[in-house]
Amino acid sequence: MAAMEGRICEELTPRYYALCAIGGMLSAGTTHLATTPLDVLKVNMQVYPIKYYSISTCFTTLLREQGPSVLWRGWTGKFFGYGAQGGCRFGLYEYFKGVYSNVLVDQNRSLVFFLSSASAEVFANLALCPFEAVKVRVQAQPSFAKGLIDGFPKLYATEGARGFYRGLVPLLGRNLPFSMVMFSTFEHTVDFLYSNVVKRKKEECSKAQQLGVTCLAGYTAGSVGSFISNPADNIVASLYNRKADTLALAIRKIGLVNLFTRSLPIRMLLVGPSITLQWFFYDTIKVLFGLPTSGEVAADLGRDKPG
């Protein structure tokens, strides 16, 4: 018990939170960079659903009309934007989880997970939004800009500072529920796997076994989160590319059914593996610095199972 308390105290330090932020930044930035081609397909299918009515049609048409380089359009926005988001999302989640755990001592753990992830995600989206505004335009409008260097000044010249945060509300609408569901699902899946599948304490498992649990929990969390947040993702693409001027108009033009179904297969293909890799890289970085992998195990902490 003394060793456990010492480990928890070691985790709740500025060094720990800084390492979590760096780990989140590197893991999110690199995984989003690697999935840029899929993101290009997703954005174009959302913005031009009639022209690009399937993944294969979108892929072949873009290659034929714009060449192979089109698949990497917006890569700088993906790397730097989602790197900034990942640093805030993971680092601040760990921080807020410590804060809310101390305040809401006897409360349901799901409430702590929801509040922690929601609080962190607000800051994460404020960091991401300007990059996302440029990225989506670069990917869907070939004549807009080549990347961040020319995209930032052009967007500011045409729309002012407001243009960078034009999609903040729908972006929060997409990422807040995604993050809340993703982190909570991850935490509960980790607890379930150790309690019912592995049937050993986390500290008794090898690092490879712990990272295996991380990957399974990460894929589950990413898949569930992508389905929940798909409607807002379609709205974000519509607003950024001026397909609609208001949130209500975007919903009306897309249609209720299409909000949930448009680009969902490719989004799940994109988000599931991406979130899995993010958690894997994130926990690998933590392990390399001598920290435990992510996720609470109720039995190890001497708590009842989180509800």
How far apart CA 231 and CA 136 sit, in angstroms, is: 17
Main-chain phi, psi angles of 180, to 5 degrees: -60, -45
Q: Lowest-confidence range among 93-107, 240-254, 276-290?
A: 240-254
How open is the CA angle 62-68-73, to the nearest 5 degrees? 80
Task: State yes or no: pLDDT of 42 exceeds 80.
Answer: yes
Is the CB of residue 211 less than 8 Å from the CB of residue 280? Answer: yes
Express each pLDDT in 87-102 by its tens digit.
Answer: 999 999 999 999 999 8
3-state secondary structure 40-88: HHHHHHHHCCCCCCCHHHHHHHHHHHHCHHHHHCCHHHHHHHHHHHHHH
Main-chain phi, psi angles of 37, to 5 degrees: -55, -40
Tokens for 53? Answer: 């009515």
3-state secondary structure 193-212: HHHHHHCCCHHHCCHHHHHH
Whether 299 is covered by a domain: the verdict is no
How far apart CA 137 and CA 240 sit, in angstroms, is: 7
Across 265-288, average pLDDT: 88
Task: Report pTM.
Answer: 0.79
CATH number at residue 270: 1.50.40.10
How open is the CA angle 70-264-148, to the nearest 5 degrees? 35
pLDDT score of 210: 95
Q: How many domains does the chain have?
A: 1
CB atoms within 10 A of CB 93: 25
Task: State yes or no: pLDDT of 240 exceeds 80.
Answer: no
Q: What is the CA radius of gyration of the chain?
A: 20
Whether 298 is covered by a domain: the verdict is no
Across 276-294, average pLDDT: 92
| Side chain identity, residue 178 | F
Whether 138 is covered by a domain: the verdict is yes
Whether 237 is covered by a domain: the verdict is yes
What residue numbers bound the domain in which 200 lies? Answer: 1-289
How far apart CA 174 and CA 222 sit, in angstroms, is: 13
Q: Lowest-confidence range among 45-54, 68-77, 283-292?
A: 45-54
How far apart CA 47 and CA 298 sit, in angstroms, is: 44
Express each pLDDT in 114-170 by its tens digit.
Answer: 999 999 999 999 999 999 899 988 888 888 888 889 989 999 998 898 889 988 887
pLDDT score of 106: 78
Whether 304 is covered by a domain: the verdict is no
Whether 32 is covered by a domain: the verdict is yes
Whether 260 is covered by a domain: the verdict is yes
Whether 137 is covered by a domain: the verdict is yes
pLDDT score of 5: 39
Express each pLDDT in 218-239 by its tens digit.
Answer: 999 998 888 888 887 788 777 7
> Which residues, other chains included, contact 213 with Cβ-Cβ below 8 Å and sequence gap of 6+?
190, 193, 194, 198, 205, 293, 295
